[in-house]
Chains A and B, each alone.
Chain A
Amino acid sequence: MSYYKPKFQHPKLPKNELGYTVADYDGAVSTLCAGCGHDSISGAIRNACFLSAIPPHRIAKLSGIGCSSKMPTYFLGKSHGFNSVHGRMPSVATGASVANRDLIYLGVSGDGDTASIGMGQFVHLIRRNVNMTYIVANNGCYGLTKGQDSATADLGSVGKYGVKNPFDGIDLASLAVLQGASFVARSFSGDKEQLEPLIRAAMAHRGFAFIDVVSPCVTFANNVGSTRSYAATRDNLEAMPIDFVPMREEIRTQYKEGSSQTVTLHDGSIIHLHKASRKYKPDSREDALMALQTANRTGKVLTGLLYLDTDSQDLNHTLALATKPLNSLGKDELCPGSRVLKSINEGLR
């Protein structure tokens, strides 16, 4: 493992339409364990932002506390980041997003950070439909404090110390669908073919986009008996692949009639969903819940875009926020002046 990342870039590295190479979306060298699923998620985020040609400085990265929440240091070094308080990133992201509606907000959290200490804030973030992408790196255990079961660990899953988890796990994807999230997906850190387009679609979506990413902990939950190990996840994976075509790109790939469904996002971007059951409609909460419940019952890890509401209205809309970001308003727009104050005084006599 290296601690130094050279600034040198290969001169022939491909550039996106803004002239950035993928290296321009790099962050610092990861200090997570070698083989950690989270590093693959960082890589997928980097690639997704490069491919979608998002100017790095227009993204704000936010996280809570834990191994997952260290991740934003390891991608998008040209973006502002905020490593906040355990379980409280949702509120910080909410405040940031209303203060400047023009930036793209990317929250990274973990299963402890979201499903335990941050459960209250997570649910309310969904309820408000804050315009952001929220990724949970979900490994079913507390890595940074050395391997305690988390609230998402499956019933009966065995941790590194050989003890079976006695509690039912919280399924964050089901919860998000039930609570009214407008974009819900699940993926696997080892499936970048699926994760990258999901992240791109999430970032193009208007409203709250949630991606629950199974991301094995190589140190504390990669053993036999763990339902969140690389092996167990691969064995039980039921992946629904997707493609993402941004609004401004021409559609080149040809799809066989009936093999895929197409969804258009509010900005004109297009998502192609493959291998989804014919009956499965990503715009139906009932279908999404049914599919998740069936997969959970049979021990399968169902991944893909599970639910999408392309017409959702985000918090900025609900609050009727001015088009100009609040943080750019000046005295003239904000301060009513002495004449108005005089009349207020008059009303108080």
Chain B
Amino acid sequence: MKQIKGINDFVVKFANVNGTGSASANHLFAKAIFRMGVPVSPRNIFPSNIQGLPTWYEVRVSAKGYLGRRGGVDMMLCVNPQTMEDDIASIEPGGYFVYDSTRPLAPHLNRDDISYFGIPLTEMCMREFKVARLQQLLKNVVYVGALAALLDVDFSILKDLLNDQFKGKEKLILPNVHALEMGYQFAQDNFSCPLPIRLDSSVIDAPHIRESKHILMNGNTAAALGAIYGGATVAAWYPITPSTSVVDAFSKYAERMRIDAGTGKRNFAIIQAEDELAAMGIVVGASWNGARAFTATSGPGLSLMSEFLGLAYFAELPVVLIDVQRSGPSTGMPTRSQQSDILAAAYASHGDTKHVLLFPATPRECFDMTVQAFDLAEQLQTPVIMMSDLDLGMNDWMSPPLEWDDDYEMSRGKVLDAEALDQAESWGRYQDVDGDGICYRTLPGAHPDKGAFFTRGSSKNEMAIYSEKGEDYVRNVDRLLRKFETAKSYVPEPKVHDPIPVKKPKTKLKLGALFFGTSASPSYEAVEILAEEGYPIDVMRIRAFPFHKRLDAFVHDHDMVFVIEQNRDGQMRQLIMNECHIAPDKLTSVLNYSGTPITARTIARQIRQALNVDSADIVELHPEIA
């Protein structure tokens, strides 16, 4: 039988039952590959449930350092009878199936184009371990041991990782190492190890990853660290997947790094609110009072926060919101990833509102952009929403290390203190003195008899006096538009890369692709695939809204522009159509909204379709069949 082969280039998927301890064993596997220096991207595809439902863990290994999903599965490890039939069907021809052979496999599950590897996981664990919980948990470690033999994972690294993991609980190290060795030995004795798909750290084709000393971390932890480094002192939130771990991580780091040495008291406040309305209200109140405050939420929470976002926009208060997007609406698929809050965030609230959005694509950017969000919010005196998603927020990504410049100073924006108020000849809260739409704020309690004013929504004049006059309203909202123009020069610029040279282009059309966030990695990969097929595509990665003027130019310069995103309605495409002066029919959507992150293959396929490329011309680059 033909078998898929590939050194450092394959996809392994684990099919488990949730609540059985599989995630930490699967993570152990992925982390070992990372420690070997081989580019790897693990993804947890899990249900909204605590115990008993199907859950998957997909590990992609990519010699070239592609971190997005490729599409397809080369090896399936399945210990969940509920999903076995579908799991087997999803394996690429020439692929591999590893399973618990304590019970024989049903005859209808046999395919003649894949290889089977039965390991009696349950039997081995029942025999070797006495405690019921360990019999359950260590099945996962046994299969990791077997995979180490099958795929050539460095065994000593696995043992080191177990030692790290159980530091302080030494009693658990011995049975874990025993389970690992048992699996390894079983595979060595029964299969021809290693397989044609395997790891080899000596032939890595991605020097940029090794040299920059990548870390493995998730975006939510990175964002939480950004909030610590950015000087956030107030966090208010309501638990919601997939954003919960942002505040969990903030709390963990704050308890370590924000305790006053002299008194043991906290230089931060975390308030678990009664709902997202209150969470945003707390942030608004704290920001009004001059503290750096933030919240983290997901789709349904964003809806509930919309009213306050509108108030903050009109009252011109800095607000930082980290939106870790999931599938919507309402309960939706809370543990599935999408980029589907774009329009809801950009125009959140009633009345004429527009909000600054940031789009991180890596944990490193989650960190940097969270810090920047606090600066932008205070400089622009307006809400700033960082648009992460479940895939970036909750999965571990290889990322360049986090960096910090100790000379960084917080940009607190235009705030007049008592001294400045004494020196000012006159002051009105909403007077546009500098012509950039940004006015001078004062904080409560700043001065005994200057600078006090009444903060309210839109009915006011430049002196913050209540007014329902039409002309006052118009002047105010027009100034807010001017401020939004100013924001264009403050927010991160889009990233443009050098085009990939294509010797004999098969099209005369000038092609471009726009994408953002977690759509970026698989988009870069798809563009490389298509370049090899003869279709050169220029790329621009959007990093912020309002859009940079270069985005307009990019669309103008191309005949056909693909907008690659993860929602049904092409929300980024709509936002571009709304905000830029371009011909909308130039923009073609490339979409995935299944709840699992978009793959390079999906993107390449949709672009080929849009270009009417005959599929007979296409040579699939992956997988390679031996």
Give every chain A residue within 8 A of B456 (Cβ-Cβ): 82-83
Give every chain A residue within 8 A of B442 (Cβ-Cβ): 80
Give every chain B residue within 8 A of A95 (Cβ-Cβ): 234, 236, 271, 281-289, 293
**CA–CA, A337 and B234, complex, Å:** 19
Q: What are 11 A-B pairs at a CB distance below 8 A? A: A77-B452, A92-B284, A95-B288, A96-B286, A96-B289, A99-B269, A102-B445, A319-B270, A320-B265, A337-B406, A344-B225
Query: Which chain A residues in 88-140 approach chain B with CB under 8 Å?
Result: 88, 90-100, 102-103, 120-121, 124, 128
Give every chain B residue within 8 A of A92 (Cβ-Cβ): 281-282, 284-285, 288
Residues 312-349 of A, flagged 1 when their CB comes within 8 A of B and 0 if not, give: 00000001111100110111011111101100110011
**CA–CA, A327 and B290, complex, Å:** 5
Q: How far in angstroms is the closest Cβ of chain B from A309?
A: 22
| Most B C-beta atoms less than 10 A away, residue of A60, A100, A327, A336 | A327
How many residues of B are in contact with the other chain, CB < 8 A? 72
Query: Which chain B residues in 211-231 approach chain A with CB under 8 Å?
Result: 213-217, 225, 228-229, 231
Give every chain A residue within 8 A of B447 (Cβ-Cβ): 57
Which residue from chain A places its CB closest to the CB of B280 in the assembled complex? Answer: A91
**CA–CA, A245 and B281, complex, Å:** 35
Whether A80 touches B452, Cβ cut-off 8 Å, given contacts A57-B446, A120-B275, A334-B258, is yes
Q: Which segment of B84-92, B105-113, B396-404 sits at the interface? A: B396-404
Are A85 and B410 closer than 8 Å at their CB atoms? no
Are A322 and B265 closer than 8 Å at their CB atoms? yes
Give every chain A residue within 8 A of B284 (Cβ-Cβ): 84, 91-92, 95
Which residue from chain A places its CB closest to the CB of B367 in the assembled complex? Answer: A341
Give every chain A residue within 8 A of B236 (Cβ-Cβ): 91, 94-95
Are A341 and B231 closer than 8 Å at their CB atoms? no
Give every chain A residue within 8 A of B229 (Cβ-Cβ): 335-336, 341
Residue A147 lies at the interface, judged by CB distance under 8 Å to chain B: no
Are A348 and B217 closer than 8 Å at their CB atoms? yes
Q: How far in angstroms is the closest Cβ of chain A from B561?
A: 37
Whether A72 touches B278, Cβ cut-off 8 Å, given contacts A99-B290, A322-B267, A334-B233, is no
| Most B C-beta atoms less than 10 A away, residue of A56, A95, A331 | A95
Residue B263 lies at the interface, judged by CB distance under 8 Å to chain A: yes
Which A-B residue pairs are the 4 nearest by beta carbons?
A91-B281, A95-B285, A80-B444, A99-B291
Residues 315-337 of B, flagged 1 when their CB comes within 8 A of A and 0 if not, give: 10000000000000000000000
Give every chain B residue within 8 A of A330 (Cβ-Cβ): 410
Residue B308 lies at the interface, judged by CB distance under 8 Å to chain A: yes
Give every chain B residue within 8 A of A58 (Cβ-Cβ): 445
Residues 193-221 of B, flagged 1 when their CB comes within 8 A of A and 0 if not, give: 00000000000000000000111110000
**CA–CA, A58 and B290, complex, Å:** 15
**CA–CA, A103 and B285, complex, Å:** 13
Give every chain A residue within 8 A of B258 (Cβ-Cβ): 334
Are A100 and B444 closer than 8 Å at their CB atoms? yes
Are B215 and A329 closer than 8 Å at their CB atoms? no
Are B452 and A320 closer than 8 Å at their CB atoms? no
Which residue from chain A places its CB closest to the CB of B405 in the assembled complex? Answer: A338
Q: How far in angstroms is the closest Cβ of chain A from B552?
A: 36
Whether A83 touches B455, Cβ cut-off 8 Å, given contacts A91-B273, A345-B402, is yes
Indicate which residue in A121, A326, A335, A341 contacts B234 across the interface (CB closer than 8 Å). Answer: A326
Are A100 and B445 closer than 8 Å at their CB atoms? yes
Whether A322 touches B234, Cβ cut-off 8 Å, given contacts A83-B456, A92-B284, A329-B267, is no
Residue A78 lies at the interface, judged by CB distance under 8 Å to chain B: yes
Residues 428-464 of B, flagged 1 when their CB comes within 8 A of A and 0 if not, give: 0000000000000011111111001111110000000
Q: How far in angstroms is the closest Cβ of chain A from B252?
A: 11
Residue B617 lies at the interface, judged by CB distance under 8 Å to chain A: no
Indicate which residue in A83, A103, A337 contacts B445 across the interface (CB closer than 8 Å). Answer: A103
Are A334 and B231 closer than 8 Å at their CB atoms? yes
Are B402 and A341 closer than 8 Å at their CB atoms? yes
Indicate which residue in A55, A80, A319 contacts B266 across the interface (CB closer than 8 Å). Answer: A319
Are B266 and A320 closer than 8 Å at their CB atoms? yes
Are A78 and B448 closer than 8 Å at their CB atoms? yes
Residue A79 lies at the interface, judged by CB distance under 8 Å to chain B: yes
Residue B274 lies at the interface, judged by CB distance under 8 Å to chain A: yes
Residue A222 lies at the interface, judged by CB distance under 8 Å to chain B: no
Residue A81 lies at the interface, judged by CB distance under 8 Å to chain B: yes
Residue A73 lies at the interface, judged by CB distance under 8 Å to chain B: yes
Are A83 and B457 closer than 8 Å at their CB atoms? yes
**CA–CA, A323 and B267, complex, Å:** 9
Residue B311 lies at the interface, judged by CB distance under 8 Å to chain A: yes
Indicate which residue in B213, B233, B444, B457 contacts A329 across the interface (CB closer than 8 Å). Answer: B233
Whether A326 touches B267, Cβ cut-off 8 Å, given contacts A81-B454, A344-B225, is yes
Are B308 and A88 closer than 8 Å at their CB atoms? yes
Known: A92-B282, A97-B285, A121-B274. 15 other contacts (CB 8 A): A55-B448, A73-B466, A80-B443, A82-B454, A84-B311, A88-B277, A91-B279, A94-B285, A95-B283, A98-B286, A121-B277, A319-B266, A335-B228, A338-B405, A349-B215
Which residue from chain B places its CB closest to the CB of A62 in the assembled complex? Answer: B285
Whether A96 touches B288, Cβ cut-off 8 Å, given contacts A103-B444, A344-B225, is yes
Q: How far in angstroms is the closest Cβ of chain B from A67?
A: 14
Residue B614 lies at the interface, judged by CB distance under 8 Å to chain A: no
Indicate which residue in B270, B285, B408, B455 contacts A81 across the interface (CB closer than 8 Å). Answer: B455
**CA–CA, A187 and B533, complex, Å:** 81
**CA–CA, A56 and B280, complex, Å:** 28
Residue B260 lies at the interface, judged by CB distance under 8 Å to chain A: yes
Are B233 and A326 closer than 8 Å at their CB atoms? yes
Are B443 and A327 closer than 8 Å at their CB atoms? yes
| Most A C-beta atoms less than 10 A away, residue of B233, B283, B449 | B233
Give every chain B residue within 8 A of A340 (Cβ-Cβ): 257
Are B444 and A91 closer than 8 Å at their CB atoms? no
Residue B409 lies at the interface, judged by CB distance under 8 Å to chain A: yes
Q: How far in angstroms is the closest Cβ of chain B from A238?
A: 34
**CA–CA, A127 and B415, complex, Å:** 34
Which residue from chain B places its CB closest to the CB of A340 in the assembled complex? Answer: B257
Give every chain A residue within 8 A of B410 (Cβ-Cβ): 330-331
Are A72 and B454 closer than 8 Å at their CB atoms? yes
Indicate which residue in B228, B282, B406 contacts A91 across the interface (CB closer than 8 Å). Answer: B282
Give every chain A residue within 8 A of B404 (Cβ-Cβ): 337-338, 341
Which residue from chain A places its CB closest to the CB of B289 in the assembled complex? Answer: A99
Give every chain B residue within 8 A of A96 (Cβ-Cβ): 285-286, 288-289, 444
Q: How far in angstroms is the closest Cβ of chain A from B210?
A: 12
Whether A341 touches B263, Cβ cut-off 8 Å, given contacts A81-B455, A327-B290, is no
Which residue from chain B places its CB closest to the CB of A58 in the assembled complex? Answer: B445
Query: Which chain A residues in 218-246 approach chain B with CB under 8 Å?
Result: none
Give every chain A residue within 8 A of B403 (Cβ-Cβ): 338, 341
**CA–CA, A79 and B455, complex, Å:** 11
| Most A C-beta atoms less than 10 A away, residue of B217, B265, B288, B443 | B288
Give every chain B residue within 8 A of A327 (Cβ-Cβ): 233, 286, 289-291, 443
Give every chain B residue within 8 A of A320 (Cβ-Cβ): 264-266
Give every chain A residue within 8 A of B214 (Cβ-Cβ): 349
Are B213 and A349 closer than 8 Å at their CB atoms? yes
Give every chain A residue within 8 A of B280 (Cβ-Cβ): 91
Indicate which residue in A62, A82, A97, A326 contacts B268 across the interface (CB closer than 8 Å). Answer: A326
**CA–CA, A322 and B283, complex, Å:** 19
Q: How far in angstroms is the closest Cβ of chain A from B161?
A: 12
**CA–CA, A57 and B446, complex, Å:** 8
Q: How far in angstroms is the closest Cβ of chain A from B70?
A: 24
Give every chain A residue within 8 A of B311 (Cβ-Cβ): 84-85
Q: How far in angstroms is the closest Cβ of chain B from A260?
A: 36
Are B257 and A321 closer than 8 Å at their CB atoms? no
Give every chain A residue within 8 A of B215 (Cβ-Cβ): 345, 348-349
Indicate which residue in B228, B287, B405, B444 contacts A336 across the interface (CB closer than 8 Å). Answer: B228
Indicate which residue in A79, A88, A100, A102 contacts B281 across the interface (CB closer than 8 Å). Answer: A88
Give every chain B residue within 8 A of A335 (Cβ-Cβ): 228-229, 231, 408
